[in-house]
Structure 1
């Protein structure tokens, strides 16, 4: 019942490095990676949300329709850069 597979910490660390390098994320930005379960229609069962919060208030979000442990570098390379500006 509570046998949910947790994301591998090493996978999260590697994803942060790959994303930081690909999108030139500055060291003073906060990069968070979260795995969410979705119960809405037409929504993947597990989705990974990647968020960059820059100290200037700029926020960028990326979504991958896979669990963290299944994400490959090609998924990162295929991301569309969807920027949200929250001040």
Structure 2
């Protein structure tokens, strides 16, 4: 069972903040948008043990959601750039 209230290391929080900054930089996110980054465990067959879900919530724009099949700690700037490429607004 996952403990939703378990304390995270300072390094985890720092990387989570960095991932959010990359999302804002690379995914054309308005300053007022909410960027949510969540690490989830999956117990279904064929599912990676951890995945990172990124949600962008903006006024007057449909929510955007991206799933990366890796833990938050393993997410790189390039992962965010690759996710942004097909959806970048022009």
Q: Give the TM-score of the pair, scaled to structure 1.
A: 0.79
Map of 1:42 onto structure 2:
46
The structure 1 residue matched to 2:28, chosen from 9, 15, 24, is 24
Q: Give the TM-score of the pair, scaled to structure 2.
A: 0.77
The answer to which structure has the higher helix fraction is: 2
Map of 1:71 onto structure 2:
75
Map of 1:14 onto structure 2:
18
- Count of matched residue positions in the alignment of Structure 1 and Structure 2: 80
Deviant stretches of 4+, over 3 Å = 4-7
Measure, in 2, the Cα distance between the counterparts of 1:6 and 1:15: 16
Deviations 1:8-63 (CA, angstroms, capped at 9, x unpaired): 11101111111111111001111000000001111111000000011225200011
The structure 2 residue matched to 1:58, chosen from 50, 58, 62, is 62
What RMSD, in angstroms, separates the aligned Cα atoms of the two structures?
2.3
Measure, in 2, the Cα distance between the counterparts of 1:62 and 1:39: 19
The change in CA–CA distance for 1:5 and 1:70 in structure 2 (over 3 A counts) is farther
